[in-house]
Amino acid sequence: MNGLDATRRAWVEIDLDALRQNVQHIRSRLAGRCRLLAVIKADAYGHGAVAAGEAALAAGADCLGVATLEEGIQLREAGLGCAIVVLSPIHTPAEVKAVAHWRLEPTLCTPRQVLVCGEHLARPHPIHLKIDTGMGRLGAPWSEAVAFVRLARSQPQLQIASLYSHLATADEPDSAALAEQHRRFEQVLAALKQEALRPACVHLANSAAALGDPSLHYDLVRVGMALYGLYPAPIFCQTVPLQPVMQVRARITQVKDVPAGTGVSYGHTYRTTKDARLATVAIGYADGVPRRLSNRMEALLHGTRVPQVGTITMDQLLIDCSQLPQAREGDIVTLIGSDAAETIGADDWATRLETIAYEIVCGFKHRLPRIVRAASPSPRPPEGARSEESV
């Protein structure tokens, strides 16, 4: 664990070797000459955008995707020179000037955005057009795609780098909604081809579609969660071997023996039923451990599963380590990750909370330092590398 010392009360470990291997496994799944856009929005889903972006590129990703201008600027300031696609739309002159200055590639979703971008770009610049085939969120209506592309083509300063849509139910491969979106996308492409307007790059697949159905790959796939070793749904677990990139650990700060009938933490939501050995662990909901997991989660200590007891508080939680008399202050507790033969995943928390692993890994706050583990260092792509090459 690079940089880990005894002053750390709690931390997040990031295994860049696992991320690189995930990229390589995903690439092996792709159809034909399909390229890979690594989505590192939301600070790479809590994993650290700069380190994750560099590792993904070194492992064979072709370009990066972010959600906001600020995220793209952060990568440029860190020296990444690859193509960076901003997946959320821009619609003001100030945003247009920012994408031009930082060489970011914006997404445009409406005719007005196309016109604003065309008016305020000083020179030709790559842009991406998004159409809505059934997500109901962003994009021009699929039935108006030909007119939308024709409008963009009429703007001399706009270089259409790609046209894409986003799937709503790709984690349900047999769903009627997925089939309908695929059909609509195909209709759009056929109409564009007939008008000689089809962009050189079109894409539709997210992580689930990239893992599940090669017919959805087209020229590019946009992969986010799978990069970080998490499957979009259990049905995909047999497609490629993915390794979780994130582990979360904290130290014990106190161990005490208490008698039966002792109330534990705020509200005494847990009371010992027999004499017990309890340990206080220096991590809480202010760090990203959901309070709703109180009395509903386990942790790993010395390779053994132990229950969390009592209400999780802002900075601390309690575990019952009665079965481990050797537990001491300073011992390391694993909340997400592996210890010996035992593993607790973000999916385990998500199942208990009836949510998705995306929300779990994005929730760990930055007062938890990210400790990067990388047995094979990830060389930073040289500044300006592929900067002239669009998606």
Active site residues: 41, 266
- Give the burial class of 386: count Cβ atoms within 10 A of its Cβ; 0-12 exposed, 13-18 middle, 19 or more buried: middle
DSSP letters spanning 238-273 = TTS-----EEEEEEEEEEEEE-TT-EESGGG-EE-S
Say if residues 89 and 96 touch (Cβ distance below 8 Å).
Answer: no
Whether the Cβ atoms of residue 202 and residue 163 lie closer than 8 Å to each other? yes
Which is nearest to 244 in space by CA: 339, 342, 370, 336?
Answer: 336
Instruction: Flag whether 314 is marked binding.
Output: yes
Closest to 34 measured CA to CA, from 185, 232, 203, 278:
203
- Cβ atoms of 259 and 273 closer than 8 Å: no
Residue 101 sits at φ, ψ, to 5 deg, of -65, -40
- What residue ranges in the chain does DSSP mark as E strands? 10-15, 35-39, 63-66, 84-89, 105-108, 125-132, 140-141, 158-164, 202-205, 220-223, 246-258, 263-264, 270-271, 276-281, 298-301, 304-309, 317-320, 332-339, 342-344, 370-373
Binding residues for substrate: 137, 314
